[in-house]
Amino acid sequence: MASSRKLIFPLLIMLTLFACKGKPEAETPSPQLQTYQESPETLEPEPEPTKLTALQSYEYNWSQSDDMPDVVIIIDDFGNSAGQLLEDFADLPSEYVFAVLPDLAHTQAAANLATRKGHEVIIHIPMEAENSKVSPGKKYISKDMAEDDIKAILDDFARQMPMAIAANNHMGSATTASLKTMNKVLSHLSKKDLFFIDSATTSKSAVYTAALQQGVFTARRDIFLDVPDVSEQSLAKKIQDLGKYKGRKEPVIIITHCHNREKLEGLQKFITQIEAMGIRIVSLRDAFSKAIS
């Protein structure tokens, strides 16, 4: 029995060793391979389509026409203010005309700055308005003024702006309707080598008739740019209205005002659009060189 146990024990050891040897080793988990996925190229986002403004998208019936007249731009009412707004108006192209009111705090500053920047200056003459409680200015030409008084006022205004090449009326629906008065005005301006541009504040204007009687040159405003406002819709309508002057030999005279930055920006939008459509902006001298020489 004891010998049997002696034999069994070594047997058990051998079986144990054999079993351990036959059992496969536990696999050591291999480290997981890191995979590198190439990220797609960073692409610039596609630009959004340019949104056309009301001015650009309007379907003008005369666009890119070769038969459109030149345009003269007159900016009224300088003299009330100085500062950055005046500087920015003066930085506009030199073809734009400055109409400067006399007798104001910044009359000289506006006229001098305009001249330094190459702009033509005209005297914005205060005149009496029909049925208006608003005074045109400290001194103005009324519809029944005596000739000597008219001469004195015009001489004073010309002294304030010796660089002026012409004049136009500020307000003046009553005065410009008086043939008698406008004969006196145009006669004296002509003697000072100044011509007159009718701002056309009344349908009853006698300016053209007076010019014929005096044998002098005159011109007339065609469009008020900033009436009723300078919204893009209004500006687009004004640009469309230019089409009715197609084929005209004389330039189209457009008047706007310098009252605020909104009017400056409206003018810049208007000019950018019409120049893109082939319209040329010219100075008064270029526009009427034959007539005023």
- Helix-helix angle 232-241:261-276, to 10 degrees: 40
* pLDDT score of 30: 45
The per-residue b/e assignment along 230-269, b for 16 or more CB within 10 angstroms, e otherwise, is bebebbbebbeebeebeeeeebbbbbbbbeeeebbebbeb
Is 244 a member of any domain?
yes
- Residue 34 belongs to a domain: no
The answer to whether residue 102 sits within a structural domain is yes
Question: Using CA atoms, how far apart are residues 137 and 149, in angstroms rounded to an integer?
Answer: 15
Residue 33 has pLDDT above 90, yes or no: no
Per-residue confidence (pLDDT) for residue 27, from 0 to 100: 45
- Residue of higher predicted confidence among 107 and 51: 107
Percent of the chain with pLDDT strictly greater than 90? 78
Confidence of residue 31 (pLDDT cuts 50, 70, 90): very low
Q: Mean pLDDT lowest for which of 52-61, 131-140, 203-212, 276-285? A: 52-61
Binned at pLDDT 50, 70 and 90, residue 36 comes out as very low
E strands, 131-265, in order: 166-171, 195-198, 218-220, 223-224, 252-257
65 — pLDDT class (breaks 50, 70, 90): confident
pLDDT of residue 38: 43
Q: Which of 159, 147, 154 is nearest to 169 (CA)?
A: 154
pLDDT of 158 reads: 98
Average pLDDT score over residue span 210-226: 98
**pLDDT of 66:** 81
**Has residue 209 got a pLDDT over 60?**
yes
Per-residue pLDDT band at 34 (split at 50, 70, 90): very low
Residue 14 has pLDDT above 90, yes or no: no
Average pLDDT over residues 176-202: 98
The boundaries of the domain holding residue 148 are 55-292
Rounded mean pLDDT, 224-232? 97
- Note whether residue 11 is domain-resident: no
| 135: in domain | yes
The pLDDT tens digits for 85-140 are 999 999 999 999 999 999 999 999 999 999 999 999 999 999 999 999 899 999 99
Q: Report whether pLDDT(32) > 50.
A: no
Beta bridge partners of 123: 100, 167
| DSSP H or E run through 191 | helix 179-191
Q: Is residue 118 part of a domain?
A: yes
pLDDT confidence band for 63 (50 / 70 / 90) = confident
The answer as to whether 38 is a domain residue is: no
Domain tally for the chain?
A: 1
Is it the case that residue 161 has pLDDT exceeding 50?
A: yes
Residue 7 lies in a domain: no
pLDDT band per the 50, 70, 90 thresholds, residue 287 = very high
Domain of 122: which CATH number?
3.20.20.370
Fill in the amino acid letter for 90. A
**Helix or strand or coil: residue 135?**
coil
Condensed to tens digits (0 to 9), the pLDDT of residues 252-267 reads 999 999 999 999 999 9
